[in-house]
Structure 1
């Protein structure tokens, strides 16, 4: 594996309740390689395995088989505490729900992840200010979530994901709660972050959103396949009958 591969999985598998009548194969031999500075979309219908894959890439769950190297680190070699440190240092999460604390200002929300580090308060607030400036919200840092639009709240959430300067951003349906114009603005922001050498992995069910990515992966029944950007519609993007 070369140094440029930020995410690499080999034959990654996840089986829930193995050997029982309730057994579910959520991931089946997933091979994936993502380079530093790529913007990748993972598409698929509900139940296809894309959320399970995101949990694996985010070190929120452990695979039943196969391997995952995150920024060159073999995740299987880490214990729970070491995985938590890896998540903090290597991965920023952005979700459809903004998950902002309502009584905190935008600046305080962004600085919150650094509370789990040894950085002094002044350093945390300085980094939060820089992260908000990076997403175009330096003039809104004193506002609480209720005083911000949906798009601004998502920008705050992205700034929060950037606070520890992770190489990887995992975004799960980040435009799902936004109108189309605001969603386009958020996708443009992801492209700019890619150009600044972040690796962006976007989970979506929307083909129009996925087409903004450099590469598109399609999931169906736990299997992953790559599709050419701008190619024809793929059955994996259709609802499971």
Structure 2
């Protein structure tokens, strides 16, 4: 597969389908032939109500689940060719996860939380600390490195979680309702940070049910009954 500029899209799916409990009365078609292409440095929102298939698609993009049929290439790698160990390595190296609930370890400082993903790598201890400090500075929290999560506001905790997601320089930042636990002003600040990260060539894929949140992205997709359609910002204002 040749690509302009030699770089593959970071996310490319072709006719992606997912069926749970096929052939039984409980059969659920969660994804119906999804085609999606996201280039490096894009900020894309995937929007849809509960039950639309957006969580299933997020699990596919995050390599947490595998499709029933169709293909998914993550940064040029066809995930169907990988065994469980290679899939875990791909997840670690290619995807930074940001969740609604922050998922920080309470007894660790912000710096230690950010450095966590490097605990299983060969990066020397001092370099881990330096990289974690640089990641905290990149999200505007350089001064708070020694603070524990309970000493930080919700917005600051989410920034720590974003710094942690960025620590291994993954090509994809996958954010699931990242502003869901925040007030609207703090949420706006986190969305502005995602915008800035995309300008620095990080690819941000945002999963949300909220049209106001989706409107911050450069491109918006809408999921409905397992199908994916490219939307517009005009749709979001409707």
For normalisation by structure 1, the TM-score amounts to 0.95
1:117-156 CA-partner distances (Å, limit 9, x unpaired): 1112111111111110100001000000000000000000
Instruction: Name the SS of the counterpart of 1:56 in structure 2.
Output: helix
Q: 1:197 aligns with which of 184, 195, 201?
A: 201
Aligned residues of 1:211 and 1:230 also touching (Cα < 8 A): no
Indicate the RMSD between aligned Cα atoms, in angstroms: 1.0
2: CA distance between counterparts of 1:69 and 1:107? 33
Q: 2:143 aligns with which of 139, 146, 149?
A: 139
Q: Which residue does 1:103 correspond to in 2?
A: 107
Aligned residue pairs total 234
2: CA distance between counterparts of 1:80 and 1:120? 27
Query: Per-residue deviation at 1:232?
Result: 5.5
2: CA distance between counterparts of 1:89 and 1:232? 33
For normalisation by structure 2, the TM-score amounts to 0.96
| Unaligned stretches of 5+ residues in structure 2 | none
Q: Which residue does 1:9 correspond to in 2?
A: 13
Map 1:109-120; keep pairs closer than 5 Å: 109-120=113-124
| Unaligned stretches of 5+ residues in structure 1 | 235-241
Q: Which residue does 1:27 correspond to in 2?
A: 31
After alignment, is 25-34 or 113-122 more displaced? 113-122
Aligned residues of 2:13 and 2:34 also touching (Cα < 8 A): yes
Instruction: Name the SS of the counterpart of 1:118 in structure 2.
Output: coil
1: CA distance between counterparts of 2:26 and 2:155? 40
1: CA distance between counterparts of 2:198 and 2:179? 17
1: CA distance between counterparts of 2:8 and 2:196? 19
Query: Per-residue deviation at 1:231?
Result: 3.4
Map 1:2-81; keep pairs closer than 5 Å: 2=3, 3-81=7-85
Map 1:222-237; keep pairs closer than 5 Å: 222-231=226-235
Instruction: Name the SS of the counterpart of 1:116 in structure 2.
Output: coil
Q: Which residue does 1:170 correspond to in 2?
A: 174
